[in-house]
Amino acid sequence: MENKKELRTWLDNLQLDHPLVIAGPCSAETEEQVLKIAHELKNTDVNYYRAGIWKPRTRPGNFEGVGALGLKWLQKVKAETGLKTATEVANRAHVELALEHDIDLLWIGARSTVSPFIVQEIADALKGTNKIVLVKNPVNPDLPLWLGAIERLASSDIKNLGVIHRGFSTYEKTKYRNNPEWQLAIELQTKFPDLPLISDPSHITGKRDMIFDVSQTALDLNFDGLMIETHHDPNNAWSDAAQQVTPSALVNIMKDLKIRKESDPEAAYNNELNNLRAQIDVVDNQIIELLGKRMKVADNIGELKKQKNVAVLQSKRWNEILGKMVLEGEEKGLSEEFILRMFKAIHQESINHQEKIINS
């Protein structure tokens, strides 16, 4: 990871006037399906055609991919449409087969990135390759684990590297399939500004109608590209049906996205400003999410108080909270006045919630 400028070379060499686009089905299902989607994506902004051949399924008994046979279909895609090809590899055998079939871009999936043994095996099998290799974030929000995987590949003399942000598993259900934890991706970008960073809004959202917004946020945060699962008949896809979009929907998404260029100083300034605003939006959403969570807990307390018939306001506990928050706020550079005003407002909302419950 020493020679950082080199990291961008493969992307800069493509000389794109739009973000890098990797699109295609979650899984290769049949030769006909693979070719049909590829032909519909020809002559669009799509640069790499993706299709999963070996599918890492969380539970057994689901469609696990067509295997090596699908690599032949991807070769046909390249021959018939000129699109470059991409697939996921998860062990040495996959790497060898993908290289034999001249796949142009290989990615390491989220469930593989968590395992240093597997990543090392893949890095060894790919040693010295000039193929593009992209590392998806691990399923858990662990930046060092993600960086470790990139370092293993870099140490194996793999120069055309990049990363894919596909969000992180959470125990609690959120509106996302995989929570984006944008701060983590921003931290990675700050550490390695020249490492191409691709967003995978399909696996982040799990729902096709959320893909546009997440893509726009990613571009506002200076991501270099998008990987979007695309299928000609999404509802009947053999995997990830809810999140795939049709080729024409993808074209519309690309058309409507605001893409910012960095060529002149004015644009660079606007870029920086939009990036910072996108960070503010991310944090604001987290604040709302947390406040909603806090009010749910307050509701539960309201139920308890109702059962036991105790008063809503417990001033001793409230004063303790306030004192503690003022001190913690001070450490973060927040004034006492602000902390008091904010917590009083939060407290009032909790009281309103609880009174509604107690009087119901």
Interaction site with ligand PEP (CB under 6 A): 26, 52, 56, 88, 109-111, 136, 166, 203
* Residue 109 contacts which entry, Mn ion, ligand PEP, none (Cβ below 5-8 A, type-dependent): ligand PEP
Residue whose CB is less far from Mn ion, 26 or 46? 26
Which one among 11, 26, 132, 357 touches Mn ion, defined by CB under 5 A? Answer: 26
CB of residue 21 vs ligand PEP: minimum separation in angstroms?
A: 14
CB of residue 240 vs Mn ion: minimum separation in angstroms?
A: 4
DSSP 140: S
Residue whose CB is less far from Mn ion, 73 or 238? 238
346: Cα within 13 Å, side-chain hemisphere: 21
* Token pair for 244: 């795939």
* Residue 306 contacts which entry, ligand PEP, Mn ion, none (Cβ below 5-8 A, type-dependent): none
Three-state secondary structure call for residue 245: strand
Q: Which letter, b or e, does each residue of 284-307 get, where b requires 16 or more Cβ atoms within 10 Å of its Cβ?
A: eeeeeeeeeeebeebeeebeebee
CB of residue 118 vs ligand PEP: minimum separation in angstroms?
A: 12
| The one-letter amino acid at 155 | S
CA distance 90 to 336: 52
Residue nearest to ligand PEP (CB): 109
* Residue 166 contacts which entry, ligand PEP, Mn ion, none (Cβ below 5-8 A, type-dependent): ligand PEP
CB of residue 239 vs Mn ion: minimum separation in angstroms?
A: 6
Residue whose CB is less far from ligand PEP, 19 or 167? 167
- Contacts of 212-218 spanning 24+ positions with Cβ under 8 A: 212/253, 212/256, 212/257, 214/180, 215/253, 215/257, 216/257, 216/258, 217/180, 217/182, 217/278, 217/281, 217/282, 218/165
- Which phi and psi angles does 91 have, rounded to 5°? -165, 180
Residue whose CB is less far from ligand PEP, 136 or 353? 136
Q: Does 240 participate in binding Mn ion (rule CB under 5 A)?
A: yes
| The one-letter amino acid at 230 | T
Residue 82: CB atoms within 10 Å: 11
Residue whose CB is less far from Mn ion, 134 or 282? 134
CB of residue 27 vs ligand PEP: minimum separation in angstroms?
A: 7
Residue whose CB is less far from ligand PEP, 56 or 193? 56
* Token pair for 331: 């450490």
Residue nearest to Mn ion (CB): 26
CB of residue 339 vs ligand PEP: minimum separation in angstroms?
A: 40
Cβ neighbours of residue 264 closer than 8 Å, sequence gap 6 or more: none
Q: Which residues pair with 132 in a beta bridge?
A: 105
Residues that bind Mn ion (CB under 5 A): 26, 240
